[in-house]
Structures are given as structure tokens and as C-alpha cells.
Structure 1
Amino acid sequence: MIFDAARAAISRLFSSEFRGVFFKTLGLTLLVLLGVWFGAKELFEYFALPWFDAFFPDLPSWLGWLSFVAAIAAGLGLAAGLALLIAPVTAVIAGLFLDDVAEVVEKEDYAQDPPGKALPLGAAIATSIKFFGVVILGNVVALFLLLVPGINILAFFLVNGYLLGREFFEFAAMRFRSEPEAKALRRRHAGTIFLAGLVIAGFLAVPILNLLTPLFAAAMMVHLHKMISQEDAARAGQSAELRG
């Protein structure tokens, strides 16, 4: 079931509809990071460089290049920081377009089923912020656990597998169910959803490809939610027949 869902998600990942969502997400991400870059650069030049000159007022003229070196080092540090932020920022922006991804999957692969209901704008923004928090928290926790001998990469997969599986499955389920019902369904199938989360964590671990993680995860969990719902309905039907 899990690999069927992953395979179905990958088959849609490079479709024209998904590319449109990805380019919108990537474009907004770059705009946000560009704004952060110029904002941080202006703040550094306004506050840090005058502080440097004030702290070293008697710096010999032949060492005046140190302030230039400090500015270059700060710029490189900022660039490295922004590179690390690409995946989390992409995640929070992609959260605004996950319903578009879900609608494509539902329309193309489950045309005979009633379509899901998109989250209201406020809920979509809250969901995207939650996804951002999950990605940040998962990677911070995993980073600390990397310091524990014998855990290392395993920590990354376990933490992200649990968090990503939980959040993306509940997103897919809430298109058809209330939040309490979605959470209850997730708890009943916690093992399956955790294993699916491990697949998403593996996707997240691949550089460059990880920019597509929100789209892949949303599509995969739409499929998984459909499969679990169909399986539960079949079991309920069999139980009703046995009771009858």
C-alpha cells in the first residue's frame, strides 16, 4: 500500500500541473530569500560595520581591509544560512498550494469519487506555518541527536518520518473529514502512516530533490488516505455481512 502510494505520487510529480505549483512555490521562495538577503545585508552595513569601526578606532590604515574582509565573511555566512533555509521556506510556501496538488490527484486518479474540500485560507496559512515548524523542529531535533553515538542518520529518519507522516496524512484526511476524525484515523493506522513518513523522510534527504518534498508528500498521502479509507470501508462491509 505504501509503495503503491509513493509510486503513484512520483508518477504525477513531473506532470504539467505539478510543475506549475512547483514553479510558483520556488519563485515565491526565491523572492522571500532575496528579501531576507537584502534586509540582512542592509542591517549588517548599518549596525555591524559602524560597530566594527568604533571598536577598533585606532586600527592602522594598512589593516583597514579587515572591515572589508568582515563584510565578505558575513556575506558568505548569510549565503550559507539562506541555503539551509531553502527547504524549510519552500515547505511553508508550498503549504499554501497543497490543496492544488490534492485536487490534481483526486481529479486525475479518483475521478469517480466526490472531490475533497479545500481548507479555508486561514486554515491553509496555519497549516503551512505548521509544516514549517515541523520541518524546523524535526531537523533541529535530528541535529542534536546526531551528536549521540550510534544514532546519527537513524535519528533524522525517525524524527522526520513521524512528524512528516503525521502532518501530511492529516492534511489529506481533513479534505474529507473533520480534524478530530482525521486525527482518529491517523491514530488507528499509526504504523502504516509512520512507515509512509519514512519514505517522505528519505525523499527529504536527497539534495535538490528535497525541494519537491511537500508536493510529493501531499500527493502520496492523498493516495494513502484513499487506500486506507477504501480498506476500512471494505472491512466495515464484511463485518456488517457477518453480523447480518
Structure 2
Amino acid sequence: MFSAARLALSEIFSPPFRSVLWKSLGLTIAVLLVIWLGLQGLLGWVIDIQSYPWIETVIAIIAGVGIFIGLGFLVAPAAALLSGLFTDEVATLVEQEHYPADPPGQDLSIAAALTDTIAFTGVVIVVNLIALALLLVPGVNLIAFFVGNGYLLGREYFEAAARRFMSRAEARALRRANGGTVFVAGLLIALFLAVPLLNLFTPLFAAAFMVHVYKRLSGSVRTRPA
């Protein structure tokens, strides 16, 4: 498990991944910037105390700090939103590099990937809003963040990797049969997600990591092309 995580981490910064890395990083930053500007605009609309400018300034500063903290929780939904864009591309690179003897996986259709991504993003937003609401409860918010994201990210990325080789029902059954392993893998992704700056690469790391997890659970042996 940990060796697969280390391998995935080294892969996402390697030359073969360079193109998808820059695309993923650029889009992740763009999504977060749009969210930031949207929240700032909403804040400016809500806070309008013309008679007491100093109160408006104080509230704006406090709210701005709150938005900055909240933005950290929004990295998870941003990663979820972008997951469907890069999962197949990253999986293909990992399969070609490390499992060339195995039959190649099949990319999901655009419609299926889009539907899954929208549904997944919605659930992740709800979980992280709950974790954000518990921000003032020591320890509880961290538990909610790691457990919630660990389960959801593990489930989504594992099934995405598995569905390249089997049906949705078969992928779900395989995930349930190995629920403990997939959950621990999801916790590692959530831990990655909690590291500032590094979390911007979550879609790439999670996709590459779960390909290795799926391959090991399905009995594949990692090899390198001659």
C-alpha cells in the first residue's frame, strides 16, 4: 500500500506525466480562483455597512480569513470536479509504464465520466461543508474531514480504475470485497489532500495510486517494459 503511494507520488512529477500535470494544476488553480472570486463577490454584496466603515473593514478582514480557511476545505471538491478529466489519461500512462503485459483498460465514455464526476462532486461538497461547519469543534472536524474524504475518495478513484476493466457492478463488488484496503488507500489520499500546495496535485496522485491498488488486488504483477 505505502509502496504504491510512494510510486504514485514519484510518477506524477516524472516526464511522462508532465503534460497532464500542468493541465491538472492549471485547471485546479483556475477552479479555486473562481470559487475565491465568487465568495469575495458574495461577501462584498452581503457586507454593506456604509454608516460605519470601520465595522465593515473589521468584518471584511475576519470574513476574508474565514474564506481563506474555507478554501482549504474546497480543494477536495475541486479535486473531485477534475477527477473525471484526468483519471483515464493518468491510468493509461500508469498501465503502459508498469503493466504492459496486461490488456489495456478502456476509457469511460464522456457521458458516464461526466455523470459520475457531477454526482461525486456533490457528495464531496456536502461532506466538506459538514467538516467546515465543525471547524470550531476540536478534533471532530479533522475526523470528519479524513474519514469522509477517505471513504469517498477511496471509493471513487478505486472504482474509476476498476471500471476500465469491468462493469460498474463488478467494480463496486470488488471494492466492497476489499473495503478495508480501499478505505486505507482513501485515507492516504485524504492525507495527501491535507498538505498545502501538494494537495493541488490530488487528482493525479489519486488516479495513479488507485491504478496500482486495483492491479495488486486483481493479482497483476508490476513489470517494466524492456
Asked whether the 8 Å contact 1:41–1:75 carries over to 2, the reply is no
Alpha-carbon displacement from aligned partner over 1:55-93 (angstroms, at most 9, x marks no partner): xxxx4xxx6x55973796498368625565344324312
Aligned to 2:57: 69
How many residues align? The count is: 219
User: Structure 1 residue 188 and structure 2 residue 187: aligned?
Assistant: no
Task: Give me the TM-score of the superposition, normalised by structure 2.
Answer: 0.78
* Gap change, CA 1:71 and 1:134, over 3 Å in 2: same
Pair member with larger Rg: 1
Alpha-carbon shift at residue 104 of structure 1 (Å): 0.5
C-alpha separation in 2, matches of 1:15 and 1:139 = 31
Residue 221 of structure 1, aligned match among 167, 191, 210: 210
Asked whether the 8 Å contact 1:157–1:202 carries over to 2, the reply is yes
Aligned to 2:15: 16
Asked whether the 8 Å contact 2:24–2:204 carries over to 1, the reply is no
Which residues in structure 2 correspond to 1:124-203 (within 5 Å)? 124-143=113-132, 151=140, 153-203=142-192
C-alpha separation in 2, matches of 1:40 and 1:197 = 29
Alpha-carbon shift at residue 190 of structure 1 (Å): 1.0
C-alpha separation in 1, matches of 2:168 and 2:198 = 30
C-alpha separation in 2, matches of 1:159 and 1:71 = 31
Task: Give me the TM-score of the superposition, normalised by structure 1.
Answer: 0.73
Aligned to 1:116: 105
Let me know the Cα RMSD of the aligned residues.
3.2
Supply the AA of the counterpart residue of 1:164: L
Residue 89 of structure 2, aligned match among 80, 100, 107: 100
- Aligned identity (percent) is 52
Alpha-carbon shift at residue 13 of structure 1 (Å): 1.9
* Gap change, CA 1:212 and 1:130, over 3 Å in 2: farther
* Gap change, CA 1:153 and 1:89, over 3 Å in 2: closer
Asked whether the 8 Å contact 1:165–1:194 carries over to 2, the reply is yes
Alpha-carbon shift at residue 150 of structure 1 (Å): 6.5
Supply the AA of the counterpart residue of 2:19: G
* Gap change, CA 1:13 and 1:34, over 3 Å in 2: closer
C-alpha separation in 2, matches of 1:69 and 1:154 = 34
Consecutive unaligned residues in structure 2, runs of 5 or more: 221-226
C-alpha separation in 2, matches of 1:205 and 1:89 = 13
